[in-house]
Chains A and B, each alone.
Chain A
């Protein structure tokens, strides 16, 4: 019943995307009909899909740095009361800075190629990922750690055997957030200054006022975030057992 409702909702949105521009209710320059965007994607598939290896490669590299590094750093900071009071406020403050101002600097440092995109997306996603990881550890009840301590666990054993597994669900939440931000970061960086990649392609189509071409790129971005979401849901189901805590 709910699934049927969901399917109907999706179909209605897609139908509106097709019908409203054709009926003249939405200017075609703003939103071209869905079929036109798909038509561009089919006709120029070589160019569109050809831009994916660059973009996906940048996303994976930034993902590894931001998510693995962010979660690891979060665990370390959360384990240290001193770090929680010194480093954490600093990072929270840095979080308020719109990091996109760093991108021109990064282009100077790393050039127009993939490195500057990886660096920007990694920095952009690192802080929120880390803060989510810290919050996940902070929300754990201290009782399990205390029990482990009574049974002689060292500090490292407490982290490895108690904190890390207990915070797995929140680590998945951190991955979800960090992954989405990495995708945003890479696409934005490619749009602001690049010689290749999906974001670059979208910007080029926009400067030519080729709306169907812009939307063809957007559809590919949507597909990427959809795949990311699906993979994370699978991962979430796997760690669901951990959430069945008392």
Chain B
């Protein structure tokens, strides 16, 4: 087995000053090997997004620790970890290419160099020809492609995705899912993908982590033994159904509890 690239060990997170408030995550252990595509699912409010923000370094765990590539995460490490949010969160006054280049600008990379890097990423995400468009001139799906390109522009080892397709319509969501798998196959990033959609989780991921309702704990860790490349036809196979059903049982039991 390949070594763990991202590790969460004994991670708990409480909100509020001095950690007295709401418990979002309780004692989470998770090891993600290099190159794996992991989906995280669970009922609303189970701390899925909190988990991602801990790996992104945007928050610090109350207990335990998070490591990436052997280094403990205490602040954002943008060169190792890229992040894509639910909304594209593009700067509306910057063109697509300048939005993609923004993380490089923050590091003081010269303009010509960062534009060249950003242009490559826009090509990778299927947006060549749209470099100079402003965000409001792009569709929701295209904005999210720009956000993915921005997430990949520093060639990080890990790409975190926080319900990246949740605000898109279903067809766009399915098309972008296939695009994401193509990009993943080309770049072999480690992906941690938070989603509400069980179909999306099983279709995209190698492995699905199921969290319990708040405080979030890992209640199941399911390997998706479907061959790659994935195809739409697989979503109606028995194996797909079995995996999805197993995850659904957890969610339903949690709802009854």
Residues of A near any B CB (own CB < 8 A): 143-144, 146-153, 157, 161-162, 165-166, 241-242, 244-246
Least CB distance from A153 to B in Å reads 5
- Cα distance, A153 to B136, chains bound together (Å): 24
A242 contacts which chain B residues (CB < 8 A)? Answer: 92-93
Q: For A244, give its contact among B57, B106, B136 (CB under 8 Å).
A: B136
Least CB distance from B156 to A in Å reads 10
Q: How many residues of B contact A (CB 8 A)?
A: 26
In the complex the two chains form, is A143's CB within 8 Å of B103's CB?
A: no
A153 contacts which chain B residues (CB < 8 A)? Answer: 106
Q: A246-B135, A246-B143 are in contact. Are A147 and B92 (CB under 8 A)?
A: no
In the complex the two chains form, is B107's CB within 8 Å of A150's CB?
A: no
A149 contacts which chain B residues (CB < 8 A)? Answer: 58, 76
In the complex the two chains form, is B103's CB within 8 Å of A151's CB?
A: yes
In the complex the two chains form, is B134's CB within 8 Å of A244's CB?
A: yes
Indicate with 1 or 0, residue by residue over B70-112, a CB within 8 angstroms of chain A CB atoms: 0000001111000101011111110000000011011100000
In the complex the two chains form, is B83's CB within 8 Å of A150's CB?
A: yes
- Cα distance, A146 to B89, chains bound together (Å): 9
B11 within 8 A of A: no
20 contacts between A and B (CB under 8 A): A143-B87, A143-B89, A144-B89, A146-B58, A147-B83, A147-B89, A148-B102, A150-B57, A151-B78, A151-B103, A151-B106, A152-B79, A153-B106, A161-B102, A165-B93, A242-B93, A245-B136, A246-B87, A246-B92, A246-B143
Q: For B78, give its contact among A152, A162, A165, A244 (CB under 8 Å).
A: A152
B150 contacts which chain A residues (CB < 8 A)? Answer: 151
B91 contacts which chain A residues (CB < 8 A)? Answer: 144, 161-162, 165-166
Least CB distance from B83 to A in Å reads 4
Least CB distance from A241 to B in Å reads 6
A152 contacts which chain B residues (CB < 8 A)? Answer: 76-79, 103, 106-107
The B interface, classified by DSSP as helix, strand, loop or mixed, is loop
- Cα distance, A72 to B77, chains bound together (Å): 31
B56 within 8 A of A: yes
- Cα distance, A244 to B134, chains bound together (Å): 9
Q: For B76, give its contact among A143, A151, A162 (CB under 8 Å).
A: A151
- Cα distance, A148 to B88, chains bound together (Å): 12
Name which of A146, A147, A242 has the most chain B CB atoms within 10 A of its CB.
A147
Which B residues between 129 and 171 are near A, CB-CB below 8 angstroms? 134-136, 143, 150
Closest residue of A by beta carbon distance from B154? A151
- Cα distance, A165 to B91, chains bound together (Å): 9
- Cα distance, A150 to B150, chains bound together (Å): 11
Least CB distance from A10 to B in Å reads 35
The 7 closest A-B pairs by CB, nearest first: A152-B78, A245-B92, A151-B103, A244-B136, A147-B89, A150-B83, A151-B78
Which B residues between 177 and 236 are near A, CB-CB below 8 angstroms? none
Closest residue of A by beta carbon distance from B104? A151
Indicate with 1 or 0, residue by residue over B46-64, a CB within 8 angstroms of chain A CB atoms: 0000000000111000000
- Cα distance, A2 to B79, chains bound together (Å): 55
In addition to A150-B83, A161-B102, 8 A-B residue pairs with Cβ atoms within 8 Å of each other are A149-B58, A149-B76, A150-B78, A151-B106, A151-B150, A152-B77, A165-B91, A244-B136
B135 contacts which chain A residues (CB < 8 A)? Answer: 245-246
Least CB distance from A169 to B in Å reads 11
A147 contacts which chain B residues (CB < 8 A)? Answer: 83, 85, 89
In the complex the two chains form, is A150's CB within 8 Å of B58's CB?
A: yes
- Cα distance, A245 to B89, chains bound together (Å): 10
A157 contacts which chain B residues (CB < 8 A)? Answer: 106
- Cα distance, A143 to B88, chains bound together (Å): 10
- Cα distance, A148 to B56, chains bound together (Å): 12
Name which of B58, B77, B91, B105 has the most chain A CB atoms within 10 A of its CB.
B91
- Cα distance, A183 to B93, chains bound together (Å): 32
Least CB distance from B255 to A in Å reads 29
- Cα distance, A166 to B56, chains bound together (Å): 24
- Cα distance, A151 to B152, chains bound together (Å): 11
B92 contacts which chain A residues (CB < 8 A)? Answer: 166, 241-242, 244-246
